[in-house]
Structure 1
Amino acid sequence: MKNLFHADRLRKAADNPLPQQIQTPPPPEEINGEPEWEVDQVQQSRVTGKSRRLEYQVLWKGCDPDETWYPARNFRNAPIALKVFHDEHPDAAGPPVNLQYWIECAAAEEGCEERDDDDTAEKAVKPRTRRHD
């Protein structure tokens, strides 16, 4: 017997994708009427622009890698992921000035009010500059 099959007899294994195979992301949860995706891991943080806005790159649960930088305010519903990141990376830019407030809201299972300083970092890491001798 030969291990030869016609292509119409084959199916993709949906629960066991091949490396580099694009996966369909899970549908977002709805929180306060807005779609929300679950943060798997915070990758890095930075402060950018004249307004010194705090931003994060993250891995989303069940999604392909994403190199987009998102403003800190987008993570009001994921304060524990931010806290874990900053505990593990104390020299990284941030955390947001309102992180403790976001944690308290999550513990009380309440939505957080949007604040003007949601994208403000407690500390900003200065970019390294080259010395020209």
Structure 2
Amino acid sequence: MQPQILVLDEPTAGLDPRSRKDLLDRIQWLKQTEKMTVIFVSHNMEEVAYLSDRIYVLAGGKSVAHGTPREIFGNREILFKHRIGTPETVEILYRLQELGYPVDVTAFETEAAAAEIVSILQPSGR
């Protein structure tokens, strides 16, 4: 039997860091290689940013916002209103923006965030 949809509730809760990474990589593999739809619930925004193509923010059992990871993590109003944590990369970029640096706060992937930081450290900047 080959399911088309996999539903997970806090799949990495209680796992050690190595097991957590292995499981997340396996879920990503299922999405990309097996073209499986994965629906998961998580309070860990690092996981949400890593695995999600679309995010639905739930409050009081209802969907109060939805969008791509860039749309959700790039919208401070949604983040604050619904007390959503942010991936560490997003938090760093928001703090740099508050200090006046012209960074793209929606660059939450590690490589993209690193490129944003490097761009402000280079003498020519942006």
Larger RCO of the pair (alpha carbons < 8 Å, separation 6+): 1
Q: What TM-score, normalized by structure 2, do the two folds share?
A: 0.28
TM-score (norm 1): 0.27
